[in-house]
Amino acid sequence: MELLGSREEREILSFGIQHLRFTVKEFTQKIKEILDSGLPYVWIEGEVANLSHSQNGNLYFSLVEEEATIKALIFKTDKRSALGDFELKNGQKVLAYGKVNFYPRSGEVHFIVKKVELLGIGRLIAKKEALLKKYRDLFAREKKPISTFPRVVGLITSLFGAAIEDFLKVARESYGARVLVYPVKIQGDGAEKEILQAVKDINEHFPEVEVIVITRGGGSFEDLAPFYSEELILGLSKSYIPIISAVGHEIDVTLCDLIADKRCSTPTSAAKELFPEKDRILQHLNLLKQKLKKSVDVHLTAYERELAKKKLELIKRSPGYYLQKLETNLQTLKYNLRLTLRERLNSLEKKVEELKGRLWLNSPETKLEFLEERVSNLRQLLLSLSPLKPLERGYALVKSYPEGKVVRNAKEVSPEDRLEVLFADGKIIVQVLKVQTNSGGSNE
């Protein structure tokens, strides 16, 4: 089967194969040499996709655009310098700077990224987040108070747009405050510089201005870019005059709003804040009236209290008050003296009575009477205890004779014994004829 055509064709093909023949290693090395020498460091614009963080700290992702993709890599050591303060996320549109590198072992091409810049809204959002973090304390500082009814207001805005008309429409219907308009660019290059210069000029050359209003209508995130600048944050924070920020619509919150002393959602709301309607003015006046009345009442009460205090001091310093006080003290002293003397006399009388009692007890007559009474009592006691006492009641005392031993029972006596019987008025001597006991026994 003829596959290679004519002889001449086979010779030409054979010649070409000999000159373009490579091994895999040679061919991949050739590709690497061409890429290394032919492609310098380049910028590539694309959208971040397939973002992943490896365990070794490297950052892997793809840069995509419609049907084209290139793998990208940020080494761990380059992450801080490449990304700065923002965080890389899927879906961000970026401009990446680096160099293409071909890896022969895997046959893959990677874009080694050294620098990444956000594009479009992503860049502004990252910038906003970085400034919010950097100036957190400045945003949280104490705000300057806004005058309730300012007589002169500085308005910084564009002459071309609805914002100035909306603001001035409300101002014209107010109580007659002056509005000093300072025209500036409100978007595009150099807008923030004009705004800062306006704030600076008003602070330096228009001291009668009581509040500054920075305002513009709504717009895209890119249109509001001047109100997210670092220069604007630092410049507005140095203003001596309070600042109201009314930038964009209600949903738009810019860094200008955060650094200002007060934020209003729209130019109209800012004007209504400064130039209230008639009902609000009357309400405010009534509130001031109530505060004034309360303040007067408080001061009058304080003055009356002070007057009463001074009057009392004058009374205390008058001769009549002094004499009355002396008389009162004298009466008190007299009463206390009488009370003390009475208590003293009562105490002395009590002591005298005690001494009299002690003297009476210790006198010879009292002691003699006491001893006589005691002797008499002892005599009576002895008499009551005498064995002869029962004889007065008809009893007799029997003794043996002549021994004088008291006979206590019949068994101690025998017939023919002589006994001495004592009576109260005398005694008799008898002789026993017979002895008989209660038990029935007898002895003759």
Sorted by where each begins, the domain ranges of the chain are 15-118, 127-276, 278-320, 389-443
Closest to 215 in 3D by CA, of 258, 244, 180: 244
Which residue type does 102 have?
F
What pLDDT, on the 0 to 100 scale, is given for residue 443? 63
Q: Per DSSP, what are the bridge partners of residue 53? A: 59
Q: Which of 6-20, 70-84, 108-122, 426-440 has the highest mean pLDDT?
A: 70-84
Q: Per DSSP, what are the bridge partners of residue 109? A: 102
Quick one: average pLDDT of 378-383? 76
CATH topology assigned to domain 127-276: Rossmann fold (3.40.50)
CATH code for residues 15-118: 2.40.50.140
Looking at the predicted structure, is the pLDDT value of residue 17 above 60?
A: no
Please write the tens of the pLDDT for every residue from 253-302. 788 888 889 999 889 888 888 888 767 777 877 888 888 888 888 888 88
Question: What does the alpha-carbon distance between residue 223 and residue 426 come to, in Å, rounded to a whole number?
Answer: 162
What pLDDT, on the 0 to 100 scale, is given for residue 11? 55
Looking at the predicted structure, is the pLDDT value of residue 10 above 70?
A: no
Quick one: average pLDDT of 156-182? 88
Question: What does the alpha-carbon distance between residue 150 and residue 167 come to, in Å, rounded to a whole number?
Answer: 15
3-state secondary structure of 60: strand
120 token code pair: 């479009």
Please report, rounded to a whole number, the percentage of residues in the chain having pLDDT higher than 90: 14
Question: What does the alpha-carbon distance between residue 316 and residue 281 come to, in Å, rounded to a whole number?
Answer: 52
pLDDT band at 86 (very low <50, low <70, confident <90, very high): confident
Which residue type does 390 have?
P
More confident residue, 442 or 330: 330
Quick one: average pLDDT of 151-172? 90
Please give the sequence-ordered ranges of beta strands (E in DSSP) within 211-267, or none if there are none. Answer: 211-216, 243-247, 262-263
Looking at the predicted structure, is the pLDDT value of residue 232 above 60?
A: yes
Is this structure's pTM higher than 0.85?
no
Helix, strand, coil percent content, the chain, rounded in steps of 5: 50, 20, 30
Quick one: average pLDDT of 94-117? 87
Quick one: average pLDDT of 378-401? 75
252 token code pair: 């738009």
Backbone angles phi, psi at 6, to 5 degrees: -75, 170
Looking at the predicted structure, is the pLDDT value of residue 144 above 60?
A: yes
pLDDT band at 121 (very low <50, low <70, confident <90, very high): low
Burial 176-196 (b: 16+ CB within 10 A, else e): ebebeebebebbeeebbbbbb
Q: How many CB atoms lie within 10 A of CB 93?
A: 15
Looking at the predicted structure, is the pLDDT value of residue 9 above 80?
A: no
3-state secondary structure of 440: coil
